[in-house]
Structure 1
Amino acid sequence: MKPTPLNFVSIIASVRTGRIGPDIARWFLEQIDAGGPEFEVIDLAEPTGAGTTRMLEHADGFVIVTPEYNHSYPGELKILIDAHRSEWKHKPVMFVSYGGMSGGLRAVEHLRTVFAELYAVGTRNGVVIHAPWSHVDDGILTLDDTAAASARQAMDELIWWAELLKPERPARARGVA
């Protein structure tokens, strides 16, 4: 029996004027694009609705692209997370964070506890980008090969978790196991 393809959703959490979240999300997807999985993108700076719920529901895993705002993550991301519950359950979540000295790691640490409460699995590996604004020129983020390798490694782990968890979700949804 041929396995069904995996579906992933990338969520751009920043909504501030002058944001570089879309540039970072684009860079990440370019690093894994060569024969990699397909993604749908939810940009929280754009209106969300029933289509967002459908995307989250059908996703096998998530990539959260988030800045660090005031030692945590954006409020708009919290609203999205709290507006959905079952859509996150038994699915892996990987983080691409960015910010100043911490590279957004404080935002990720807060998100790990929130997603754990929703029975989602936060992956160990992710991508951390320190001071990304100094690496963006005309909307293009340019990082070294180490960062690109980090993105591919993190994606490999997300795929592993998604493949592991996907067959379990229907049984758990029915209350079996």
Structure 2
Amino acid sequence: MIPGADAAGAAAPTVVPLAAWRRAHGIAPPIRAARPEESAALTTLCLRAKASLGVSEDLMRLWVPVLTLPAEAIAAGRVLVAAETALLGVAAHGPPVDGLAELTLLCVDPAATARGVGTALLGAVVARLRAQGVRRMTILAERGIAGFYRRMGAVPTGFAPSPAIPGRMLPSLLLELR
């Protein structure tokens, strides 16, 4: 018998893991609701993502409370994850008020950047909020990340105080959820 062939001599099909197939074909990973037991792992993912932007160790300490995902936000269904065999990214939004919600967090593991993970997560948050009747979403972004949100259709609205670093202003954007 020929290695890699069946009893009739036909070549056995090659098995490619789904995650590898998705990457090869430019298909974003599945998005699902986060689970409360993932809170610590998601916080670690967010800290890795922030550190990959070149944030100093001293400033990273200030970001820890902001990037810590509380289990109650996860339990309320306001946190989504992109996951294949591992967690690749996370997005969270605040509770909607009068047709407006805030994107409170969107982090992609540095090993998964430029693979459509952030786009897929943002799209899932938008779809979820739209289904709840939300028509606009505010976003506070790092300067280096604001361009991503502009490419997704968000428009700059000015600057707002950083939630972590006193005296630092960050770009503020508004996304119409059409």
When normalised by structure 2's length, the TM-score is 0.34
Larger Rg: 2
Which structure has the highest strand share of the two?
A: 2
Higher relative contact order structure (alpha carbons within 8 Å, sequence separation ≥ 6):
1
Which structure has the highest helix share of the two?
A: 1
When normalised by structure 1's length, the TM-score is 0.34
